[in-house]
Amino acid sequence: MTRTPGNLLDFTCSALDGVRAHVPLVQCITNSVVVNVTANALLALGASAAMVDIRGEAGPFAGVASGLLVNLGTPTLEQREAMLEAVTAANAAGTPWVLDPVAVGSLPVRTPLGHTLRDLRPTVVRGNASEIIAVTGSGAGGRGVDASDGVDAAVSSARSLAERTGGVVAISGPVDVVTDGRDLVRIANGDALLTKITGGGCALGAVMAAFAAVDDDRFATTVAAITVYTVAAELAAARAAGPGSFQAAFLDALATVDGDALRSRAALT
């Protein structure tokens, strides 16, 4: 597929139908703050979630799951060991996996773990600009989970990271960027209310894993995941009074977003 915005939008509509038809099972090793939000986002979209994150189970499950999310938000010792177990099994089984290096660079435990996981060649790395810069080893990270760098400042790091891992890198921000080191797409959808609820970014990593499970073009599936997610956020914001009502409306929008909404709203360049 030639990766023009039009072709990627066509692919996005097809991939959304594919997720809903195949109901990919996404294993989530994620942080304790967002477990419920992440599971609900996957269910609303049409996928399935399994929070299998303990030693002895994480590896065997990753071998049969459709996709895997590894999120470093609250990396307990048990989770850290489960992450490495799951990633090793996922790589052996060919299971696509997404690394979300939450707060890497600014904290001393998760930073070396993030670098170790990076070197295990994730299918997709998703983070804010400061996290993407830091996971390459070229920055000190942001202010906890908040970025202190703009998206454009991370583009060079994202390209080099994609070349290093052989995968795809997605930078989240007011305009999202996706690159595989060669091609680059910007997605100018979404709403600021996504930053006002817990798990707005973390759940996106799980959605990326769900989309990665339905097609081998992981650049296109990553673009599709972000586009569906951020268009759904716009639909939800249009009928929300604030963060509380937005969260409920967002789940509804993930369940109902369709090709017509994507074609009328998607802003890919």
How many Å apart are CA 93 and CA 91, to the nearest integer?
A: 5
Mean pLDDT on 172-176 = 96
Give the angle 96-101-102 at the CA atoms, nearest 5°: 130
Can you name the residues that pair with 67 across neighbouring β-strands?
26
Report the candidate in 197, 245, 256, 185 with the shortest Cα–Cα distance to residue 221: 185
Mean pLDDT on 81-101 = 98
Task: Please say if the pLDDT value at position 162 is more than 90.
Answer: yes
Tokens 């070396």 locate to 112
The residue extents of the domains of the chain are 5-265
Mean pLDDT on 156-162 = 97
* 218 marked as part of a ligand binding site: no
* 157 marked as part of a ligand binding site: no
Within 13 Å, how many C-alpha atoms sit on residue 57's CB side? 10
Task: Please say if the pLDDT value at position 131 is more than 50.
Answer: yes
pLDDT given for residue 148 in this prediction: 57
Structure tokens at 50: 């399994």
Task: Please say if the pLDDT value at position 19 is more than 60.
Answer: yes
pLDDT given for residue 106 in this prediction: 79
Within 13 Å, how many C-alpha atoms sit on residue 137's CB side? 10
First to last CA, the chain: 16
pLDDT given for residue 128 in this prediction: 94
Tell me what percent of the residues of the chain surpass a pLDDT of 90.
93
* 51 marked as part of a ligand binding site: yes
pLDDT given for residue 139 in this prediction: 56
Task: Please say if the pLDDT value at position 142 is more than 50.
Answer: no
Q: Give per-residue pLDDT as tens, 215-260.
A: 999 999 999 999 999 999 999 999 999 999 999 999 999 999 999 9
Contact indicator for 161, 136 with CB cutoff of 8 Å: yes
DSSP-based three-state secondary structure for 66 = coil
The architecture that CATH gives domain 5-265 is 3-Layer(aba) Sandwich (3.40)
* 199 marked as part of a ligand binding site: yes
